[in-house]
């Protein structure tokens, strides 16, 4: 199967499986999504969704969160890991949003990436899922599957993002980002598939005899 054929098949299969992929992180608005995505670094979405209700009970707007001591924020988000760093970032970015952006999350990639604790991936997720702007955030699932499916060399997440954006139509990026994540969790996980087991891997590479080694993000 040629790459062009793989791209078409993968997109059709994922659309069939996940026609309307939901946003996995529970949130109420762009701000609560931003904080939830920040918390999801090196943490499962499931755990984040268990922690954030307690955090929103403390404060769910930038102005209110900026008034909460860092230590208090940290005590709530500790189950998510890296709590000292994340608590400080949440407090600082909340203060910036309250003072510089009238309490609103800017719908601007560059502005988002300047906020404490917000890298390119987090900013991309917010642009995509909160504002509907085309973006293709690459997490570990997407990075792994792009290599297994022969869509990227996987040198790093930056290259993987560029490769996927080049292969798939811009209007499909936001759904594909979520669809690949869901497929990676359900059918093509790090341990559950080695590049020869799941339906997409078997269909795209029917003659693959050995596990596909992938580079970590």
What is the residue whose two structure tokens read 């189950």? 79
Do 196 and 211 meet the contact criterion of CB atoms below 8 Å apart?
Answer: yes
Q: Which of 86, 121, 163, 175 is catalytic?
A: 121
Question: CA dist 146 to 102, 109, 191, 209, Å?
Answer: 39, 24, 16, 18
What ranges in the chain are assigned the alpha helix state H?
Answer: 3-17, 30-39, 45-58, 62-65, 70-77, 83-100, 109-113, 120-129, 140-148, 157-167, 173-186, 199-204
Query: Active site includes 165?
Result: no
216, two tokens: 């970590």
Catalytic, out of 45, 64, 108, 139 = 139
**Known catalytic membership, residue 26:** no
Residues carrying an active site annotation: 121, 139
């Amino acid at each position: 199967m040629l790459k062009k054929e793989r791209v078409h098949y993968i997109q059709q299969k994922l659309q069939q499986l996940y026609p309307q992929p939901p946003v996995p992180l529970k949130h109420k608005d762009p701000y609560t999504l931003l904080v939830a995505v920040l918390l999801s670094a090196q943490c499962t979405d499931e755990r984040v969704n268990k922690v954030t209700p307690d955090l929103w009970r403390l404060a769910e707007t930038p102005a209110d969160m900026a008034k909460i001591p860092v230590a208090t924020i940290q005590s709530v988000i500790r189950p998510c890991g890296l709590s000292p760093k994340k608590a400080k970032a949440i407090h600082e970015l909340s203060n910036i949003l309250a003072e510089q952006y009238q309490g609103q999350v800017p719908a601007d990639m560059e502005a988002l990436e300047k906020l404490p604790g917000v890298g390119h991936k987090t900013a991309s997720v917010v642009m995509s899922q909160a504002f509907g702007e085309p973006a293709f955030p690459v997490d570990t699932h997407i990075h792994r599957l792009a290599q297994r499916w022969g869509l990227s060399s996987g040198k790093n997440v930056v290259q993987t993002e560029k490769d996927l954006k080049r292969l798939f139509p811009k209007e499909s990026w936001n759904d594909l980002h979520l669809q690949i994540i869901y497929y990676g969790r359900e059918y093509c996980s790090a341990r559950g598939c080695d590049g020869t087991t799941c339906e997409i891997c078997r269909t795209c590479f029917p003659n693959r005899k050995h596990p596909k080694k992938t580079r970590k993000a």
